[in-house]
Each structure stands twice: as structure tokens, then as C-alpha cells.
């Protein structure tokens, strides 16, 4: 089997005359955590719902482990585990009955596997209680247990840290990393928390207005946008001198911003000093994904 | 497939649906048996005798007195009088005291509205509740086709209809037996009365045992409930909210009860499902709402509506985008 577990090609969804998803294409590899990032209304949820078969694409194809989900829906779904939005389970059944209910719908999943996932998410003590008595965090964990029941190759989680407390978020992050690194799962997460994605994902797709603006590894995205922030005195002379050396990208609080270049930064500094300009501060700045995001989506609001 | 149906039944039991329905039936039954007991007591007091012939004769006289002021009910009343007269002439007690007679009357009165209502409690949110809670997203992302998921839900509905009818029958026998005694299964009942051109036609009348008659009643009640259940099932798919589905279905049932009394001159109304729900009337021999309607006709119309509802249900459910 190839290393590509989820392949999306030319995915498009039109409702009426409005095209809400425009030609998405991306591929996910085994053992990778992939992040989906975008402001409200960018089409993250619609895309995820198409991936899991809840919405039929207008055109384009989705392959899970090589199986087209429109042609071989049931076979493709055997490789997929998911939580779409909140993990909604039957509140009037116990956690165990919920898991049994979903296990029945997968072939060859017995009580042994159920006990295994319950242990995996640490729910042994409360599993016999009704779901209506669970906290949001426990529901989230039960939701993950449910998604893992069928030993999926691809796990799709929409907002997995929603409603968790800080320690729960850290736990969840570690858990997702473990799944990818040790079990070799492909995990696709969407989140509105940018630093979440930054901490958890290997690669990120940034979506805006139904399109993927950019797909890259988190490191590459951040590195390409590394900045050098200068504080020079006197400012005007410094600005002119620096402008001859490299392009000035911006000015903020009497500080000048240029691109960072490991090879040339030292040279720039020497030349400025030679021209009698005092370099008071010289900071290399790794941008947060947030800045990058705002830049790429043209300042659309993030929730 | 059996597993999927088991899942659906587990959810219905988890929602305590059968418990609620049983409770409603018990409360209603207690009311009715008590009312019935009081009524027969007062009749006995008034007539000063236990003999059913005197009682029936008295009732016929009452009806005859009302004939002149009956208006549009005149025809119905006339037929009722003739029927009772026929029972009297053949020396057959139309309501042999005991639980079976009570069940017979109770089923006849509840088949058109009460039992379908109970079934609606189950059917109307069998799909829409999954949507409003959001569990439909988990259900439809399993490696099971949408067709099989919906089929398992429908089979669960058919089982539930049967179960509700069974609970209904059992409870009414137990409660009525406590009040009136459990005897009378083999009492004779006349069936086959037909109404042609406003006249009672006695040519097809024959004698059956009460248990046979009740069995037929339950068969028809089951079918009526299934039809209403299937239509509610369709609404449950088309409408997001269970309350809206419930309201729509109730409006249909009630309009059916009203229409049946006023559509005698609007002939094409006989193709509406709600006008055809009065299957019990064919058994007892009251006049159908529209001249020329027969049991076979009504069964066919209802079956066609059911088939249509199922086609719409599956067609929509399989294609629908879930947002």
C-alpha cells in the first residue's frame, strides 16, 4: 500500500449558483498530522463533511487508502474514523452502550477492542454511566474512543480541543501526536486556535473563501516569513542606509523590518556601523502562524 | 442487518418510548373501563333489569326519538337502529359482558386516532432526533450504506408498531378482565353488514366468534398504525424538528376525522389517505364517508400512500447532504 492515505483532487461544491468550495487538492501521508486552518466561512467544515461522506461533492474525487468514497463508500469508510464538530453521542445510553452501538456497525469489532479503546482514552471508571452525566471533556474522549474503534488509518477530527481545559488540551495534543508517531495514523485536524495547529501539526493547509491558499510544513511556512527587526539611530539615516542594502518591508514603533537572511545579516550590520549608525537592537523574529495567516488571508477575521 | 435493527430498538428502549406509551394506555384504559362500568350500572338502575334485550330495546327507542332531530347523522342513526334490530331479532347480544367485548369496542374506537398517535410518538423522531442531536453524523460515516441504515430504522418501526399493538391488547385484556371478568371470547358477533345507497344490506351478514372478530380488528388496526407510522417516518426525514412532524401528522389525522363527515359529495377525496383510515367501519358496517368505498379500495389507497412515502423517504435520505 502506498504512503498516501487520503487524496483529494479537484474537490468542488456548488450550492445553487454559489461555489463554496473551489478545486481543493491535497494529499496526506501515513503518520502525519495535518492541520486545516481558516476563518469562519472559509469552508473547513464543508470540506471535512465531504471527506467523511456527509455531503456529496459537486465534482472532484476523494480517495481514502486508494478507495474512492463515492464509488466504494462502505469499503473506504472502514479506513476512516472521525468526529465532525462536537462528539454528539446518545445521551440516554451509557458510554459503553454507545460504543457497542457503533462497534456493531463495524465488522469484526468485539468487546475486547471496545475495552481497549476505553482504556486508551482513560474512561474505565465512568464508562457504565449515562452520557448525559458526562462533562464535555469526557464526551470528547468518548468521541475519540468511538473514532478509534475500527482501527482506522485516517482520523479526522474537527476542533478536537474544543471545550477542553488547558490540561485537557495538552493531553489531547500529546495523544494525537502519539497516534500519528507510534500507530502511524494520518490525522487531519481543523482548529481555529492557531497556536494549537502550530504545536500539533506537521503540515498546514490555510483556507480562505473556499480555497486552499497555501499548503506547507509548519517549519517552512514560518521560515519563509522570518523577519529581522532593527532599531537604528538616527532613524532616517539608518533607514536610507539599510534601504540600500535590502528591501525594507515595514516600519513599526520606530523599528525597521527586513527579511532575515543568515548569510547577509552580519554584513548588513557591519556596513551600518561603518556608516556611523548605531544599531541599538537587532532581533530575529519567528512569526507566529497568526501573522502569517492574517497576511495570507488578507486580514480576514479569525474567530 | 439484525444487529442494526437491534441498535435501533436499543435506542427506542433507551428513550423510554415503550414505557411512556404503556403508561398512557394504562391511564386511558382505567378511565374507560371505569366509565363503562358506571354506564352499565346506571342503565341497569334505570331499567331495573339485567336482561340485555330490554336494554337494547330501550336504546333503539332512544335512537328513534332522536331521528327527527338528527340532521346529517340521520342516515347513520337509521343504520344503527336497523343493525341493533337485526341483533335483537336473532337473539344475539351485541355486547356480551366481559373483557373481550370491551376490547372489541375499545379497539374500534382507538384504531383511527389513538393507536396511530401512539405509533407517531415513536415514528416521528426516529430520524429527526438523530439530526437534532447530531448523532446522524456518526451514523452516516460508518462503513454501512445509507440504504441499510434507513432500512434498519424502518424495520425497527414495523416491530415497534407490532409491539405497541401487542402491549395495547395485553393491557386492555388484563385491565378489562379485572373489571368485567375475562369470559366471552366465543360469544357470537355479526359481521358483514354493508351499506348500499343509504340502505342496510343484510345479504352478507354472517356469524363469527368474538375472538375471530377481534383478531380481524387488530389486523386492521395494525395496518392503520403502520400507514400512519410510515407517513410520520417520511416526515421525520423531511423535517428537522420532531415537533413540526408531529404537528403536520396530527393535522392530517384530525382533518381526516373531520373530512370523513363532510366529503360525501366530493368524490375524489376518497383518494386522500386520511379519509380511508376508518377501516373499522367496514367491519362493524357503518356507512363509509363516500358512497362506493369498500374495504378493498381503502386498503389499496392506504398501501399506495405507504409505498409512496417509503419511496420518498429512501430517495431523500440516500441523497441528502447533511450540514
The pLDDT of residue B157: 94
pTM above 0.90, yes or no: no
**Does B103 map to a domain?**
yes
Helix (H, G, I), strand (E, B) or coil at B320: coil
Average pLDDT over residues A81-86: 84
Strand partners, A229: A257, A283
Smallest CA–CA distance, residue A52 to chain B, in Å, is: 6
A77 at interface of B, judged by CB pairs closer than 8 A: yes
Mean predicted lDDT score pLDDT of chain A: 83
A128 at interface of B, judged by CB pairs closer than 8 A: no
Measured CA distances, A260 to A280, A283, B212, B267 (Å): 17, 10, 94, 87
Structure-block grid coordinates of residue B169: 391488547
**Does B66 map to a domain?**
no
How far is residue A240's CA from residue A187's CA, in Å, rounded to a whole number? 49
Contacts of B42 (CB under 8 A, 6+ apart): none
Smallest CA–CA distance, residue B4 to chain A, in Å, is: 7
**DSSP state for residue A130 in the 8-state scheme:** B
Consecutive sets of 10 residues in chain B, 323 residues long: mean pLDDT of each? 88 88 90 84 75 79 78 71 78 74 84 88 87 87 90 94 92 85 74 68 74 88 93 90 88 84 74 83 74 83 94 92 81
User: Is pLDDT at A87 greater than 80 in this prediction?
Assistant: no
Neighbours of A35 (CB within 10 A): 23
A53 vs B138: CB contact, 8 Å cut-off?
no
Per the CB < 8 A criterion, the answer to whether B131 and B297 are in contact is no
The pLDDT of residue B198: 64
**DSSP state for residue A8 in the 8-state scheme:** E
Structure-block grid coordinates of residue B71: 340532521
- A88 contacts on B by Cβ (under 8 Å): 133-135, 137-138
What total of structural domains would you count in chain B?
1
- A84 contacts on B by Cβ (under 8 Å): 137-138, 141
Question: Which of A49, A76, A77 faces B322 most closely, judged by CB atoms?
Answer: A49
Helices (H), chain A: 44-51, 73-77, 95-104, 111-120, 136-148, 166-182, 194-200, 218-224, 235-245, 265-274, 289-296
ipTM reported for the complex, 2 dp? 0.77
A97 vs B14: CB contact, 8 Å cut-off?
yes
A104 at interface of B, judged by CB pairs closer than 8 A: yes
B11 vs A102: CB contact, 8 Å cut-off?
no
Question: Which of B3, B14, B134 faces A93 most closely, judged by CB atoms?
Answer: B14
**Does B64 map to a domain?**
no
A220-270 pLDDT tens trace:
777 766 778 888 888 888 888 888 888 887 787 788 888 887 778 888 888
Per the CB < 8 A criterion, the answer to whether A44 and A11 are in contact is no
* Phi, psi (degrees; rounded to nearest 5) at B209: -75, 155
A146 vs B4: CB contact, 8 Å cut-off?
no
Question: Which of A49, A76, A90 faces B135 most closely, judged by CB atoms?
Answer: A90
**Does B59 map to a domain?**
no
Task: Give the count of alpha carbons within 13 A of A192, CB side only.
Answer: 14
**Does B315 map to a domain?**
yes
| Residue A290: pLDDT band with limits 50, 70, 90 | low
**Does B155 map to a domain?**
yes
**Does B221 map to a domain?**
yes
Highest mean pLDDT among A189-193, A210-214, A219-223, B23-27: B23-27
Helix (H, G, I), strand (E, B) or coil at B261: coil
B203 at interface of A, judged by CB pairs closer than 8 A: no
Q: Which domain holds residue B21?
A: 2-50+95-319
User: What residues of chain B, 264 to 323, have a C-beta less than 8 Å from chain A?
Assistant: 319, 321-323
Per the CB < 8 A criterion, the answer to whether B273 and B227 are in contact is yes
- A89 contacts on B by Cβ (under 8 Å): 135, 138
Helices (H), B124-274: 128-133, 136-139, 146-180, 210-238, 242-260
B135 at interface of A, judged by CB pairs closer than 8 A: yes
Task: Give the count of alpha carbons within 13 A of B21, CB side only.
Answer: 26
Closest CA to B191 of B179, B173, B209: B209
| Residue A288: pLDDT band with limits 50, 70, 90 | low
**Does B300 map to a domain?**
yes
B42 at interface of A, judged by CB pairs closer than 8 A: no
B143 vs A106: CB contact, 8 Å cut-off?
yes
The radius of gyration of chain B's CA atoms, rounded to the nearest angstrom, is 22
Closest CA to B240 of B126, B124, B120, B131: B131
The pLDDT of residue A298: 67
* Phi, psi (degrees; rounded to nearest 5) at B196: -125, 120
Question: Which of B143, B145, B322 faces A54 most closely, judged by CB atoms?
Answer: B322
How far is residue A297's CA from residue A206's CA, in Å, rounded to a whole number? 8
The pLDDT of residue A303: 42
A102 vs B319: CB contact, 8 Å cut-off?
no
How far is residue B200's CA from residue B304's CA, in Å, rounded to a whole number? 30
Smallest CA–CA distance, residue B182 to chain A, in Å, is: 39
The pLDDT of residue A302: 45
A128-149 pLDDT tens trace:
899 889 888 888 888 888 888 8
B14 vs A146: CB contact, 8 Å cut-off?
no
Contacts of B240 (CB under 8 A, 6+ apart): B128, B131, B132
How far is residue A126's CA from residue A132's CA, in Å, rounded to a whole number? 12
Amino acid at each position: 500500500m502506498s504512503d498516501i492515505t487520503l487524496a483529494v483532487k479537484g474537490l468542488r461544491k456548488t450550492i445553487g449558483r454559489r461555489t463554496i468550495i473551489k478545486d481543493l487538492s491535497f494529499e496526506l501521508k501515513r503518520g502525519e498530522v495535518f492541520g486545516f486552518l481558516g476563518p469562519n466561512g472559509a469552508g473547513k467544515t464543508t470540506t471535512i463533511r465531504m471527506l467523511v461522506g456527509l455531503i456529496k461533492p459537486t465534482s472532484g474525487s476523494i480517495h481514502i487508502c486508494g478507495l474512492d468514497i463515492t464509488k466504494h463508500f462502505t469499503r473506504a469508510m472502514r479506513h476512516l474514523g472521525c468526529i465532525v464538530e462536537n462528539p454528539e453521542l446518545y445521551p440516554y445510553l451509557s458510554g459503553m452502550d454507545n460504543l457497542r452501538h457503533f462497534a456493531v456497525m463495524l465488522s469484526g469489532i468485539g468487546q475486547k477492542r471496545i475495552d481497549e479503546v476505553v482504556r486508551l482514552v482513560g474512561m474505565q471508571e465512568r464508562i457504565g454511566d449515562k452520557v448525559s452525566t458526562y462533562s464535555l471533556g469526557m464526551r470528547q474522549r468518548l468521541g475519540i474512543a468511538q473514532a478509534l474503534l475500527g482501527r482506522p488509518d485516517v482520523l479526522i477530527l474537527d476542533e478536537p480541543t474544543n471545550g477542553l481545559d488547558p490540561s485537557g488540551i495538552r493531553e489531547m495534543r500529546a495523544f494525537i501526536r502519539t497516534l500519528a508517531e507510534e500507530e502511524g495514523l494520518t490525522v487531519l485536524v481543523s482548529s481555529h486556535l492557531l497556536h494549537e495547529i502550530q504545536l500539533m501539526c506537521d503540515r498546514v493547509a490555510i483556507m480562505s473563501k473556499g480555497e486552499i491558499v497555501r499548503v506547507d510544513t509548519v517549519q517552512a511556512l514560518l521560515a519563509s516569513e522570518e523577519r529581522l527587526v532593527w532599531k537604528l539611530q538616527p532613524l532616517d539615516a539608518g533607514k536610507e542606509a539599510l534601504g540600500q542594502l535590502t528591501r525594507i518591508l515595514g516600519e513599526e514603533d520606530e523599528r525597521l523590518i527586513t527579511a532575515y537572511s543568515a548569510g547577509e545579516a552580519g554584513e548588513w550590520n557591519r556596513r551600518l556601523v561603518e556608516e556611523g549608525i548605531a544599531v541599538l537592537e537587532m532581533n530575529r523574529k519567528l512569526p507566529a502562524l497568526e501573522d502569517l495567516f492574517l497576511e495570507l488571508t488578507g486580514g480576514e477575521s479569525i474567530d | 442487518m439484525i444487529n442494526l435493527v437491534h441498535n435501533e430498538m436499543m435506542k427506542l428502549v433507551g428513550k423510554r418510548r415503550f414505557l411512556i406509551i404503556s403508561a398512557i394506555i394504562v391511564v386511558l384504559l382505567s378511565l374507560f373501563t371505569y366509565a363503562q362500568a358506571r354506564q352499565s350500572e346506571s342503565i341497569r338502575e334505570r331499567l331495573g333489569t339485567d336482561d340485555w334485550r330490554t336494554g337494547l330495546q330501550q336504546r333503539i327507542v332512544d335512537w328513534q326519538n332522536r331521528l327527527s332531530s338528527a340532521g346529517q347523522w340521520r342516515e347513520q342513526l337509521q343504520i344503527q337502529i336497523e343493525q341493533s334490530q337485526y341483533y335483537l331479532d336473532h337473539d344475539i347480544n351485541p355486547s356480551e359482558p366481559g373483557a373481550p367485548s370491551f376490547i372489541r369496542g375499545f379497539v374500534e374506537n382507538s384504531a383511527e386516532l389513538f393507536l396511530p398517535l401512539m405509533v407517531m410518538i415513536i415514528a416521528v423522531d426516529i430520524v429527526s432526533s438523530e439530526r437534532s442531536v447530531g448523532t446522524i453524523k456518526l451514523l452516516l460515516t460508518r462503513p454501512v450504506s445509507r440504504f441499510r441504515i434507513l432500512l434498519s430504522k424502518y424495520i425497527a418501526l414495523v416491530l415497534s408498531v407490532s409491539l405497541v399493538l401487542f402491549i395495547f391488547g395485553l393491557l386492555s385484556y388484563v385491565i378489562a378482565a379485572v373489571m368485567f371478568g375475562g369470559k366471552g371470547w366465543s360469544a357470537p358477533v355479526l359481521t358483514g353488514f354493508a351499506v348500499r345507497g343509504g340502505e342496510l344490506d343484510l345479504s352478507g351478514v354472517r356469524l363469527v366468534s368474538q375472538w375471530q372478530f377481534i383478531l380481524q380488528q387488530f389486523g386492521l388496526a395494525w395496518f392503520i398504525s403502520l400507514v400512519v407510522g410510515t407517513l410520520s417516518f417520511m416526515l421525520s426525514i423531511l423535517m428537522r424538528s420532531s415537533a413540526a412532524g408531529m404537528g403536520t401528522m396530527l393535522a392530517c389525522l384530525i382533518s381526516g376525522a373531520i373530512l370523513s363527515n363532510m366529503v360525501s359529495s366530493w368524490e375524489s377525496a376518497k383518494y386522500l389517505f386520511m379519509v380511508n383510515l376508518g377501516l373499522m367501519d367496514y367491519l362493524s358496517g357503518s356507512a363509509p364517508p363516500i358512497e362506493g368505498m369498500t374495504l378493498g379500495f381503502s386498503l389499496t389507497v392506504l398501501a399506495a400512500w405507504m409505498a409512496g412515502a417509503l419511496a420518498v423517504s429512501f430517495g431523500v435520505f440516500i441523497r441528502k447532504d447533511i450540514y
